Each structure stands twice: as C-alpha cells, then as structure tokens.
Amino acid sequence: MDGLVEVVLRQFRNRLGQVLADVESSVRALPPAKVLELADPLFEIGSTEHLRAWLATNGEAACNS
C-alpha cells in the first residue's frame, strides 16, 4: 500500500504545487482503506485547506471513533 500512498502524494504535489509536511504525515498515517478512499476525490480537492478538511473528517481520527 506504500506505493498507493506515494502515488496519491505525487498527484497532490502536481495538483497543489506542494504538500506541507504535516499534511503528508497525516496522509502517510492513514490506514490502507482510507488511502483508497482519498484516491477517489483526489482531483476534486483543489487546496491544502480542502485536503486538511478531508483528513479531519475522514482521516485517522475518524477511524478511531
């Protein structure tokens, strides 16, 4: 699944210009099923703020609740 994380991060870098370290860490911390979920809206997420919002709603914290 590491390969998928790398592809997702690469696509976000291409789309957003840069992925901040805290956001990259959050993406890398996602369980495999959530990385697959993140791949679906990848091209709809147009800003770092939007990506952070997705992670806040669907990321690791959501998995632990």
The total of structural domains in the chain comes to 1
d(CA 44, CA 40): 9
25 within 8 A of 36, measured Cβ to Cβ: no
pLDDT value for 2: 85
pLDDT value for 58: 92
pLDDT value for 1: 66
Residue numbers of the domain that contains 39: 2-63
- Which residues of the chain register pLDDT less than 50? 64-65
The number of helices, as runs of H, and strands, as runs of E, in the chain is 5, 0
pLDDT value for 29: 95
